[in-house]
Structure 1
Amino acid sequence: MKFKHLLSGLLMMLMLSQATAQSDYFFPEGSRFDPNIPTPEEYLGYPIGTLHTRHDAIVGYMKELASKSERAKFEIIGETYEHRKLVVLTVSAPSNIENLESIRKDHLQLVDPDKHVGDYADHKSVVLLGYNVHGNEPSSSEAALLAAYYYVAGLHNEVTTALDEAVIMIDPNFNPDGRDRHSTWANAYKANPLVSDPTDAEHNEMWPGGRTNHYWYDLNRDWLPLAHVESQARIDFYHKWYPNVVTDFHEMGTNSTYFFEPTKPFGSENPVVPRDNYDGLNNLFAGYFHEALDEIGSLYFTKESYDNSYPGYGSTYPDIHGALGLVFEQASSRGHLQDSRMGKVAFAFTIKNHLTSSMATVRAAVAEKNTLLAHMENYFESAKSEGAQAGGGWVFGDPSDNGRNEAFLDLLLRHKIKTLALNEDISLGDKNFKAGSAFYVPNAQKQYRMVRTMFEKVTTFYDSIFYDASAWTAALSYNMPYERYVGKNQLNGVELQRDDLKGSYESVGKSEYAYLIEWDEYFAPKALNYLLEKGLYVNSAFKPFSIETPKGVQEFGYGTLMIPVRRQEVSSELVRAYVDEATELAGILAYPVTTGYSTSGIDLGSGNFQTIRKPKLLMLIGPGTSSYEAGEVWHLLDSKVGMPITKVWTDNVGRINWSDYNTLILPSGYYSSLGENTIDRIKQWVRDGGTMITLRNATSWAISSKFVNGKFADRPQRETPERMDYVTSRDFYGSNAIGGSMYMTDVDITHPLAFGYTSRELPVYRNHSIFMAPSSSPFNTVVKYADNPLLSGYVNKENLAALGGTASLITSGMGRGNVILFADNPNFRGMWYGTNKLFLNAIFLGNMAR
């Protein structure tokens, strides 16, 4: 027995020494840890900072901590496209973990304006430590491992006090797919001894890099659009808890130091967030950060840059929900060790800085608990009060497109914005909203500031320099007809839930003659693609008509799909089954008709019906092309159409059998590197009947290289003083940029590329300085900027004056083929439902746009 006690004592001493060794570099002096809790090094088999940890190992360690300690609860909140788990480790005192649901319900009283708490003694400060939204900024997930260990195993007073007073939620990896892409690269190129030369392959990962998710999207821009499963799962979890503090850890250039908030005053702040967030909470927490970083000797800066205006950031979205969102930026080692202008930057050092800020965040959240809780309670009370004072709300809805209506409703409801389905018609301004496709968002609700985010247009700004977008009005991006309602009485309707969104599908009746599908519907391309995959012949109407249907005489517009029954190569029963399956998949209606004789307009046998060619898609990707735009195309076709697209690296263009494809998509890029022979081959392919679609900078390349006969419009001229102070140069040149704003255009709705639009007015998004002249043909300018086009966002007066009347979308014939030139990106961030149809028309109808 004595031997056993001695052995047990020796093992305890050994475990304590290992825990002590773990804390020597990363943790504050005097930290003590439970030896029964494994350190990250013990679990992983290597010291933190010597390798990039795979996501499955991160998840495994979080799960291990929960199994070893009553302080921790492990939860899976979702999974990525590549089926990696999205997890949260909740850490608090054991008694709090036992009563977590009760604590959550008590906490939610703070966000209910109809309840007043006042006394916060029994409430907890809820802290969400979020890490690694950009996959190739990996130090923060390593810091998450250490933070989890610190609060699960820590025995010293700071930790035990924090666990009593706070619920700490650790989301170790916002972007698992991107992180593993980068980690595999960095580990694969790691040398022994380490190579710190910035030109080494370890520090220069291959296109598309690990920053983005599976579809090459920047998830730190997706908190508002919610285009992706990672963001959707995270928002659901967010609204389950409404944390008081949310961190957003990043990396920046290797030659930088460290950044923490506050960001640049006024110019970088969101217009709906109350000033006490910036003047009060931000400055209050900054004191804790600088003290912690001073203690370890880290250099840092604040207030000079970075942005809190765009609501889709992980550090801004919380600010619009009564919390304090915090962005941190660490100079990156982009590998394990890299030279910088101030010496070598080690991976372990970058981890230590983010860990230090993590601990300082919890320390501040505990010390300032009452301030945080009072801020959150007052935030939602004042939001509802301001909304009630503003009065009225917003009425919206498109009678011709239930799919787009439901997509916008889904966005509003995911963000917990109270929305009603109106039970009566209403006319506002020049718009008529009909019950059944009319909806109402009242201002008098706790989410009033998110309501403003969705509907308000902003054109007045404190600053003219923007890190990202200066406009984000969601209703415009969905091309949603809407108007401000200013009546004294609230409108009546049924409050909607997400379960109420079920599409318009009805089982189709049988016809022996033809079926009609309206092209106005957002998801009609999904049905069309399904029918073409099944081998059916489908026609598009180039003129409107009316015809008798089982629902009476119906009017059908440009682009209406007509599926004749007798001319198919399958039985009428199978035609009906395919049409039924297609419309169920798309959530839309099909109309069986028994005659081809219209009551007005063209008959079904008219030459104004043209047969749609099945698209065979090819997209060039790789170095020199925009992974963002390529990913947006890929995601759109995968998620909204169910259509495959072949992605070919520009290095492999020589291997393409061009006869296998009829549609080529070029995302932004400069394609002269393809070489003259390859470019000539593509030109010949177009002349032979191919359709080439270019986006933004690819359009600029096609015009400047004379691939097409298009022209640039005159560039704006701005007077430059003879002499200016050097310090003002960034502001002067930055204000010339068009950094993400929204504009009104005029659309030729009779053109095949605009089939499905019922209004000539169409908002577009612009974040570039390409000024494209209208086509020399009067019929080939599909989308043109209005004379005074600004809807929302910043643009200087010279750019605005030059922009009016220029083209957003033109076509250019070449032999039997066509080049379709988008000056703007119709698929931006997966949120531009309003302009997606232009792009999908280019795919399905582009060969007929002549």
Structure 2
Amino acid sequence: MKQLLHFFIIALISSYSISQNLKSPSEFLGYEIGTEYSRHSQVIDYFEYVTKQMSENVILNYYGETYERRPLMYAVLSSKNNIKDIEEIRLSNLEVLNDKPKSINNKAIVWLSYSVHGNESSSTEASMQTLYYLLTKNYDLLENTIVIIDPCLNPDGRDRYANWYNQVRTMPYTSDKISKEHSEPWPGGRANHYLFDLNRDWAWLTQIESELRLKEYQRWLPHVHVDFHEQGIDEPYYFAPAAEPYHEVITKWQREFQQAIGNNNARYFDKNGWLYFTKEFFDLLYPSYGDTYPTYLGAIGMTYEQAGGGIAGLGIINSEGNNLTLVDRIEHHTVSGISTVETSSLNAEKLNNEFVKFFSYKDKKTRNYILNGDKDKINKLGEFLKKHKIDFYSTKEQKLNAFSYNENKSVSYTTKQGDIVVPTSQSRRKLVDVLFERTTKLSDSVTYDITAWSLPYVYGLNSYLTDKEVKKLDYKKNEKVNLHDKSAIAYATIWNEIGDAKFLSSLLSKNIRVRHNKKDIQTGNLYLSKGSMIIYKGDQVVENFEEILFKEAKNFNIELSSIYSGISNSGPDLGSDSVELIKNKKVAILSGNNNQNSVSSLNYGSIWHFFEQELKYPLIHLNIKDFNRISLDKFDVLIIPDGYYGSIGNERSLNKIKSWIYKGGNLIAFEDAIKIFSDKEGFSVKIKKINDSKKQEVNFENISRNNIQNYLSGAIFKIKIDETHPLAFGYGSEYYSLKTSTSTYELLDYGFNVGKIESLNNNNIIGFVGDKVKNKFKNSLVFGHERIGGGNIIYFVDNIMFRSFWENGKMFLVNSIFYIN
């Protein structure tokens, strides 16, 4: 024991002689940390400097770039011996995925993530301080611990905030919140380039930062993950343990170790006289957070929240009269981070043993999720599962008893060759259950986010759950092969999935002329449902159009069928008015804010991202402050995202919009943008009102809990669809919609109720909906279409673009652009 102690003392002295020459962030940057906002490039410079100075203790990994080309990177730090064996340690840790690992790792792996929200800015500064302290005065913690530090998950958002603040701040800074430096302009620095909340994207991976980060996270699978945030300026510090509800897959050990970490944090905060709270607000349910997603992969996933945010700047006076400084905020995050590493280091062996248990599955009962539906949608789900390293298989015909998601009961089902099977007999079984479960069990109905997200509904697939053994075959993607057909007068393809929309957009950009049928067609042996794309050879003006057509069909995995006659067996002929040319549209969207209007940056960002990264179709962005001087006659389609609108709904602006629609313009209104037109002359949309005359006496301390009776954070509703309407082409008579707002509207008297809620039985609602608000949704509008003169207005009461992960809703938006004329 004395020899071992002697060895550690020598090692520490040796490391100290090197690290004592290491510059602190303040020394390197030339200003005291917390007295200025560091730009992302400066943070990178410091991490590179430390890596160069202590190359035997630190490895810097660059893993990609943001949309604005800023580097994404993380540092791996540990003792010299651990860094020397780092690849062996990493691979040994991943042995847990083999159910019965050959050996159990004895090193704790802790991942610290900073600034997923760019304007919660203290944490990136704290990442530099934490790096420095772990390599100097807290070096001993690295003897049995690997620490991974990602200093900034959202460089684009953070630089947006930091650069703005550095431009407008006073010198010295003003702590009075009335000062300009405490009033961040739209859209703020919280979100990334496309204005997505990256802390809601861990599971859905819609953004490049999330997708690239997960690849690295999967390479390590840390035992502990901390996501550092900021909250309101009047809140004390928050750390684990989390609030209820906890998802039921979270283990007893994960709960207990959160408490152990919280206890150690509390010890340091008590010593320094810093206020804090635990077990409130921040629960562990929704799977796409930086605390929950790691938790469902075996980690102790936690959120830490420091008072601050975009309003705080370098310092601000809060409601208690205290000056909340950036210096203090950095110190709090630094202490909690190092405290977490300390607790993990002291419990490295236990962490590893429990990690092995979490992933063990061979002695567990196996269940199989079976998914059936459109092959392209199944392919898309398969791509999603691969990113999460979730195993899935094809199967063959087999009759069995299974629970039907759509019918909400057990049925007899015969599997088909095109079905896929996702078994729970795999190491990531708990993540599988969380993502696929139909109904999530709530231990507490007061939750921070949506309560339903089941993947079968996200992708528009039928799903069945069985504990019976299902035959599993290697999955093969459905690859389409097309052949040139000289005898064909036209080619056609069915319209039912977002890949079809991307194909259309690409053809239009290359001047290939495309038609669609507004009625079902039978031509020879080919059946074309409404909305199918028809590429008629006689329409084309591009000489090599077939070469382009087949190349694009291969790129988007589109199956082309030949048509040999313009006369149809049933339905309209190809020359009918019901087979309409799809025209290129000039599409605009409102953005920004002014004194009386504010566009939802999240909704705007999701639509922007969809057009630019998925559909790859031009979108013109209009600043709402310029609305009065913009001529709408330049545009075919105007999209008004969700938001708050004051002056846009006044008589002058409304007349301008109405005149443009009368002349043939198409307007698309999302969520609260519908209120611009509701109960206004010339528009038939009306807010649905429910008279609730019953008063209930409530104790003061129960007010918040009583309010959840009027609450809807996010639930899935079964919607009745008019599948004959162009807005619904590619859909069936039923659609499962994610509803995130309690705003409801009456069915249209003069228009088309394309999507509506008819009944509210248990089969039709998945997730939590407050008892008092539930009845509002019965016989309410979800998707509407109103003709006004020569134009149209489309109402999307539900946000089909919510966080861009609800894949099955996106075709409604495409239809509203290209198929509504």
Do these two structures clear the TM 0.5 threshold for a shared fold by scoring above it? Answer: yes
Counterpart check, 1:613 vs 2:588: no
Amino acid in structure 2 at the alignment position of 1:113: D
Give secondary structure in 2 for the equivalent of 1:192: coil
Aligned to 1:53: 38
Amino acid in structure 1 at the alignment position of 2:179: D
After TM superposition, give the deviation of residue 378 of structure 1 in Å: 1.2
Q: Residue 139 of structure 2: which of 159, 170, 173 is its match?
A: 159
Counterpart check, 1:715 vs 2:690: yes
Superposed, which structure 2 residues align to 1:430-829 within 5 Å? 434-435=416-417, 437-458=418-439, 460-487=441-468, 489-494=469-474, 496=475, 504=480, 506=482, 508-510=484-486, 513-548=489-524, 553-571=525-543, 574-623=544-593, 624-674=598-648, 675-706=650-681, 708-715=683-690, 717=692, 719-721=694-696, 723-757=697-731, 759-777=732-750, 780-788=752-760, 790-829=764-803
Q: Deviations over 1:753-789 (max 9, x none)?
A: 01011x3121101111111122214x71111114126
Q: Deviations over 1:723-751 (max 9, x none)?
A: 32111111111331111111111111111
Larger displacement relative to structure 2 (351-360 or 650-659)? 650-659
Q: Residue 220 of structure 1: which of 199, 224, 248 is its match?
A: 199
Counterpart check, 1:243 vs 2:222: yes
After TM superposition, give the deviation of residue 477 of structure 1 in Å: 1.5
After TM superposition, give the deviation of residue 671 of structure 1 in Å: 2.7
Counterparts in 2 of 1:198 and 1:755: CA distance versus 1, 3 Å: same
Amino acid in structure 2 at the alignment position of 1:451: V
Give secondary structure in 2 for the equivalent of 1:191: coil
Q: CA RMSD in A?
A: 2.1
Counterpart check, 1:169 vs 2:142: no
Aligned to 2:7: none
Counterpart check, 1:318 vs 2:304: no
Amino acid in structure 1 at the alignment position of 2:521: F
Counterpart check, 1:277 vs 2:250: no
Amino acid in structure 1 at the alignment position of 2:315: L
After TM superposition, give the deviation of residue 843 of structure 1 in Å: 1.2
Aligned to 2:89: 103
Superposed, which structure 2 residues align to 1:60-71 within 5 Å? 60-69=45-54, 70-71=56-57
After TM superposition, give the deviation of residue 510 of structure 1 in Å: 4.9
Do 1:512 and 1:566's aligned partners in 2 also have CA atoms closer than 8 Å?
no
After TM superposition, give the deviation of residue 423 of structure 1 in Å: 4.2
Do 1:666 and 1:695's aligned partners in 2 also have CA atoms closer than 8 Å?
yes
Amino acid in structure 1 at the alignment position of 2:578: N
Do 1:820 and 1:846's aligned partners in 2 also have CA atoms closer than 8 Å?
no
**Structure 1 Cα separation of the partners of residues 483 and 75 of structure 2:** 46
**Structure 1 Cα separation of the partners of residues 227 and 685 of structure 2:** 44
Aligned to 1:28: none
Amino acid in structure 2 at the alignment position of 1:537: R
**Structure 1 Cα separation of the partners of residues 37 and 743 of structure 2:** 40
**Structure 2 Cα separation of the partners of residues 351 and 32 of structure 1:** 27
After TM superposition, give the deviation of residue 272 of structure 1 in Å: 2.3
Counterparts in 2 of 1:717 and 1:541: CA distance versus 1, 3 Å: same
Give secondary structure in 2 for the equivalent of 1:123: coil
Give secondary structure in 1 for the equivalent of 2:747: coil
Aligned to 2:317: 339
Counterparts in 2 of 1:648 and 1:368: CA distance versus 1, 3 Å: same
After TM superposition, give the deviation of residue 271 of structure 1 in Å: 2.8
Aligned to 1:94: 80
Amino acid in structure 2 at the alignment position of 1:631: G
**Structure 1 Cα separation of the partners of residues 693 and 36 of structure 2:** 51
Amino acid in structure 2 at the alignment position of 1:807: L
Give secondary structure in 2 for the equivalent of 1:566: helix
After TM superposition, give the deviation of residue 438 of structure 1 in Å: 1.4
Aligned residue pairs: how many? 786
**Structure 1 Cα separation of the partners of residues 577 and 412 of structure 2:** 36
**Structure 2 Cα separation of the partners of residues 98 and 172 of structure 1:** 23
Amino acid in structure 2 at the alignment position of 1:619: I
Do 2:265 and 2:336's aligned partners in 1 also have CA atoms closer than 8 Å?
yes
**Structure 2 Cα separation of the partners of residues 431 and 714 of structure 1:** 42
Counterpart check, 1:263 vs 2:239: no
**Structure 1 Cα separation of the partners of residues 510 and 223 of structure 2:** 52
Aligned to 2:395: 422
Superposed, which structure 2 residues align to 1:118-267 within 5 Å? 123-152=106-135, 154=136, 156=137, 158-160=138-140, 162-264=141-243, 266=244
After TM superposition, give the deviation of residue 100 of structure 1 in Å: 0.9
Aligned to 2:408: none
Unaligned runs of 5+ in 2: 1-15, 403-410
Superposed, which structure 2 residues align to 1:271-310 within 5 Å? 271-278=248-255, 280-310=256-286
After TM superposition, give the deviation of residue 461 of structure 1 in Å: 2.7
**Structure 1 Cα separation of the partners of residues 266 and 679 of structure 2:** 50
**Structure 1 Cα separation of the partners of residues 64 and 482 of structure 2:** 32
Superposed, which structure 2 residues align to 1:346-357 within 5 Å? 346-357=325-336
Q: Deviations over 1:159-206 (max 9, x none)?
A: 22x211011100111111111111111111121121111122211111
Give secondary structure in 2 for the equivalent of 1:647: strand
Counterparts in 2 of 1:479 and 1:187: CA distance versus 1, 3 Å: same
Aligned to 2:101: 115
Amino acid in structure 1 at the alignment position of 2:506: Y
After TM superposition, give the deviation of residue 424 of structure 1 in Å: 4.2
Do 2:709 and 2:772's aligned partners in 1 also have CA atoms closer than 8 Å?
no
Do 1:222 and 1:312's aligned partners in 2 also have CA atoms closer than 8 Å?
yes
Q: Residue 409 of structure 1: which of 382, 385, 390 is its match?
A: 382
Q: Residue 85 of structure 1: which of 71, 93, 99 is its match?
A: 71
Give the % identical residues: 29
Amino acid in structure 1 at the alignment position of 2:566: G
After TM superposition, give the deviation of residue 93 of structure 1 in Å: 0.9
After TM superposition, give the deviation of residue 220 of structure 1 in Å: 0.4
Do 1:454 and 1:475's aligned partners in 2 also have CA atoms closer than 8 Å?
no
Do 1:473 and 1:792's aligned partners in 2 also have CA atoms closer than 8 Å?
no
Counterparts in 2 of 1:224 and 1:385: CA distance versus 1, 3 Å: farther
TM-score by length of 1: 0.89
**Structure 1 Cα separation of the partners of residues 470 and 264 of structure 2:** 46
Amino acid in structure 2 at the alignment position of 1:314: G
Do 1:526 and 1:585's aligned partners in 2 also have CA atoms closer than 8 Å?
no
**Structure 1 Cα separation of the partners of residues 42 and 482 of structure 2:** 47
